[in-house]
């Protein structure tokens, strides 16, 4: 069995490790807002909406990453618009968009002939297939996303905890809610190749939930969630190599293990 240092001599493992660190920071950082606003169903709907985008990209012959981002953003904005303009509950609107996206994706896939390995890479994730271009894309989006959230952290938190008070204080609630939905959509689609459509929501939610078990302030919440995300990514990746298991599910299971440890720690306090 090769040692970790020997394994990391391989460029594809170096890229995988860097990707796990970056996504381990990015997803939980954004995931804090998902957990605080109880938007788990929304994030799940967006990840599955990306499936329709991937299917459309495959049949139209365009880049799958681009098509998934475009469709996920459109679905996120549609959900925000319908939630605002109709009397339907937020969950109902999400359920309609979720069902429509999945049905569209399945319909398009059914029209295709032959096996497309790249589509299944997005479905289940393959961190070992990450390219240098993928890394650069993740890095750019990570920097932009975290910079936006930190710059406008106060209004984002205001609309998270008290939407009506935020309006009274002059915050453009509609703008920041649309922006948050847009950010969540982009982060999910950027992470698909690493963790997969089926599991990407887990990396958003579980480290953030673990951090919430221990954090005594918002600052600690963001720091701890990112730490737990990085640990999940790195330990899960290394464990998957030694155990010869799929990286995505292994990363998620490590993350869930951390969650239960934080629950035990909280219970003892």
Average pLDDT over residues 37-51: 82
- 229/127: higher pLDDT: 229
Specify the pLDDT at position 212.
Answer: 92
Specify the pLDDT at position 7.
Answer: 67
Specify the pLDDT at position 191.
Answer: 85
Q: Is 65 helix (H, G, I), strand (E, B) or coil?
A: helix
Average pLDDT over residues 239-259: 90
Q: Per-residue pLDDT for 149 more than 70?
A: yes
Q: Per-residue pLDDT for 91 more than 90?
A: no
- List the domain boundaries for the chain: 4-263
**Burial label, 164 (beta-carbon count in 10 A; 0-12, 13-18, 19+):** exposed
Q: Per-residue pLDDT for 245 more than 90?
A: no
Average pLDDT over residues 260-269: 80
List pLDDT tens digits, range 186-237: 898 888 878 877 788 888 999 999 999 998 888 899 999 999 999 999 999 9
List pLDDT tens digits, range 170-179: 889 889 988 9
Please, are residues 192 and 68 in contact by the beta-carbon 8 Å criterion? yes
Specify the pLDDT at position 147.
Answer: 94
Task: Dump the DSSP string for 184-213.
Answer: HHHHHHHHHHHH-TTTHHHHHHHHHHHHHH
Distinct helix (H) and strand (E) counts, the chain: 13, 0
- CATH 1.10.510.10 is held by the domain 4-263: no
Question: Lowest mean pLDDT: which of 41-55, 71-85, 107-121, 170-184?
Answer: 107-121
Specify the pLDDT at position 115.
Answer: 59
Average pLDDT over residues 73-100: 83
Q: Per-residue pLDDT for 240 more than 70?
A: yes
- 267/193: higher pLDDT: 193
């Amino acid at each position: 069995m090769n040692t970790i240092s020997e394994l990391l001599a391989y460029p594809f493992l170096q890229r995988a490790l860097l990707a796990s660190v970056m996504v381990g920071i990015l997803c939980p950082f954004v995931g804090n807002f998902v957990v605080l606003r109880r938007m788990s169903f929304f994030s799940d709907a967006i990840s599955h909406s990306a499936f329709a985008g991937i299917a459309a990209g495959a049949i139209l012959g365009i880049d799958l990453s681009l098509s998934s981002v475009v469709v996920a953003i459109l679905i996120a904005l549609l959900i925000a618009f319908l939630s605002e303009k109709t009397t339907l509950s937020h969950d109902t609107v999400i359920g309609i968009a979720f069902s429509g996206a999945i049905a569209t994706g399945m319909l398009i896939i059914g029209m295709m002939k032959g096996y497309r390995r790249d589509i299944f890479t997005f479905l289940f994730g393959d961190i070992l297939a990450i390219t240098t271009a993928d890394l650069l894309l993740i890095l750019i989006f990570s920097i932009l996303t975290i910079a936006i959230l930190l710059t406008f952290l106060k209004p984002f938190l205001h609309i998270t905890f008290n939407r009506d008070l935020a309006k009274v204080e002059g915050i453009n609630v509609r703008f920041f809610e649309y922006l948050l939905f847009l950010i969540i959509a982009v982060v999910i689609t950027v992470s698909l190749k690493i963790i997969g459509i089926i599991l990407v929501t887990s990396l958003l939610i579980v480290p953030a939930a673990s951090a919430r078990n221990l954090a005594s302030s918002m600052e600690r919440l963001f720091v701890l969630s990112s730490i737990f995300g990085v640990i999940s990514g790195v330990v899960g990746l290394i464990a998957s190599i030694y155990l010869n298991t799929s990286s995505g599910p292994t990363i998620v299971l490590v993350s869930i293990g951390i969650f239960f440890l934080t629950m035990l720690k909280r219970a003892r306090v």
